[in-house]
Structure 1
Amino acid sequence: MSETPQTTEPALSDAELLSRTATAVRAAGAALRERFGEVVRHRTRDELMRALAANDDTVLDLLRPRLTSLRPGVGWVEDELDGGALPPGEWWVVDPAEGNVNHLHALPEWAVTATLVRENQPVLTVVHLPLTGETCTALSGAGAHLDGRPLCVSRTTDLGLSIVATSQARPDEHEDVVRRIGSSITAMLLDALVVRTSVPATLHLLNVAAGRIDAFWQFAGARADLLPGALLVTEAGGRISDAGGGPWTPRSGSLVAAAPGVHAAVVATLSR
């Protein structure tokens, strides 16, 4: 992690900062869209990592200086795969290519995200989908929106009629986490209507916030995967917890995000 120099210029309000952050994220997303199309072939892990890094760098070269100029003095999280709590203060948590591996495989499920975290609480977030042009935003205490339209979670109360989703946090998860993911999917296949399993987590969480699906869960995970969607779901009226139903924080080993009417049932299924 690194920090930018301090400034004496007046800070933008959070609402103003959200608007300008959205403009910056959309501009960076346009650059990433220019790189999308053909499948990027790779024969080794090193080739894959270089291709992923090239996408990240394309976005960060545009986005980092713009966000730094908007909020001088805010820390910057260097690795989007980092997890756990942040040091005190304000931090930008950015995923320059959320769903990067999908981008390389010419699959449409990817986005650019930027979240301002203050004292380990997400304050504002922008999730931009360059292929559709959609931009989801959330501001703590002021709701979640899709292109200016309010988002609201679903009103379903029956897990048996629900579409639910999960995602793996990393390709190289510990075997214990992988087995827990597998058993949770089996349990949810028995209790829910439809179970979706894909990456990235942020887009599932966006769909929960929009009422398109009813619940999402994940074991482990990085801050950049979960903080944007957690704020979107909370501001859209959803419930956030860990898999046991307790409070969720960036330190938690699991996340459940659900419509209020099915949250308890999701936790019960995952706790079996």
Structure 2
Amino acid sequence: MSESVQTADIAVTADSVSDADLLDLTADAVRAAGSVLRERFGEVAAYRTREELMGALAANDDAALAVLRPRLTGLRPGAGWVEDELDGGALPPGEWWVVDPAEGNVNHLHALPEWAVTATLVRDNRPQLTAVHLPLTGETYTALAGAGARLDGRPLHVSPTADLGLGLVATSQARPDEDEDVVRRIGSSITAMLSDALVVRVAVPATLHLLNVAAGRLDAFWQFAGARADLLPGALLVTEAGGRITDTQGRPWTPQSESFLAAAPGVHAQAVTTLSR
């Protein structure tokens, strides 16, 4: 989908709203969209072809976007809008809403509980605020740059684990039909982590793993390639919860990076060593 600027029918006076208030309103928006998806959840979707699968995924996206788009564009009428969850790379200067209306959409269609609604406001390629709502549990994770990360208002902190051998780590598949080289890198990295970490979890979507890193339930998460929508929300949450965000070589991460690593400080260097093999 194109990265075009969308304008609300009725502009609100959002320019005078503080970022903290804007975050609260963003959280309201993802909760409202989550309610729509929750009503659509329960039965395994029937599909026989790739086209039917894509149609079912798009129907979920459209149902959530019907709520998200007018609310968020009303809050920031001049902000750009990105809703393609597979898009990557840098954004043009200015403000952009990076939205995943059904993060983990394929899980939703298979009646699995690991899915969410996310909205992140990016300013000049830096995530400024994010809200992630899990409709089945009612939990809402939020983060504001420089002001911490929270779960339903309670501060989040990454794990104090200092030994990767005692750590729970996770990875995810960035997108279907990955390039063969990326697939091989994923496989070799899982093998390396199976040797060095206590437990390795492999599942989609990335955002839910990153919530668990921010909350101290997981010690590290890594992924090769990736898109803005599945990494930016978690990157801000983990950073504000005290974690470290780099690529898998330990270099500063940007949306243009070819890999991603989020880890508790105590295991970050060990994770880099493992993933660099």
TM-score tier after normalising by the smaller chain length: over 0.9
Aligned partner of residue 92 in structure 2, secondary structure: coil
Confirm or deny: 8 A CA contact 1:135 1:146 kept in the other structure: yes
Aligned partner of residue 92 in structure 1, secondary structure: strand
Instruction: Indicate whether 1:133 and 2:120 are aligned.
Output: no
User: Which runs of no fewer than 5 residues in structure 2 stay unpaired?
Assistant: none
Moved more, 204-213 or 4-13: 4-13
1:193 corresponds in structure 2 to: 198
Select which of 106, 115, 118 maps to 2:120.
Answer: 115
1:254 corresponds in structure 2 to: 259
Amino-acid identity (%): 79
Instruction: Please state how far the C-alpha of 1:9 moved relative to its aligned partner.
Output: 3.8
TM-score by length of structure 2 reads 0.97
Q: How does 1:119-268 map to 2 (within 5 A)?
A: 119-268=124-273
Instruction: Indicate whether 1:94 and 2:96 are aligned.
Output: no
How many angstroms apart in 1 are the aligned matches of 2:120 and 2:12?
23
Instruction: Please state how far the C-alpha of 1:96 moved relative to its aligned partner.
Output: 0.3
Moved more, 72-81 or 178-187: 72-81
How many angstroms apart in 2 are the aligned matches of 1:269 and 1:55?
38
Aligned partner of residue 132 in structure 1, secondary structure: coil
How many angstroms apart in 1 are the aligned matches of 2:14 and 2:46?
47
How many angstroms apart in 1 are the aligned matches of 2:59 and 2:144?
30
Q: What is the count of residue pairs matched by the alignment?
A: 272
Confirm or deny: 8 A CA contact 2:12 2:74 kept in the other structure: no
> CA 1:8/1:105 → structure 2, altered by over 3 Å: closer, same or farther?
closer
Select which of 70, 75, 78 maps to 2:80.
Answer: 75
Q: Per-residue CA shift, 1:149-175, capped at 9, x if unaligned?
A: 000000000000000000000011000
How many angstroms apart in 1 are the aligned matches of 2:198 and 2:135?
30
> CA 1:262/1:49 → structure 2, altered by over 3 Å: closer, same or farther?
same
Q: Per-residue CA shift, 1:21-46, capped at 9, x if unaligned?
A: 10111011000000000100110000
Q: How big is the alpha-carbon RMSD for the aligned residues of Structure 1 and Structure 2?
A: 1.1
Amino acid at match of 1:209: A
Aligned partner of residue 196 in structure 1, secondary structure: strand
Confirm or deny: 8 A CA contact 1:2 1:78 kept in the other structure: no
Q: Per-residue CA shift, 1:124-180, capped at 9, x if unaligned?
A: 000000000000000000000000000000000000000000000001100000000
How many angstroms apart in 2 are the aligned matches of 1:197 and 1:78?
25
User: Which runs of no fewer than 5 residues in structure 1 stay unpaired?
Assistant: none
2:275 corresponds in structure 1 to: 270
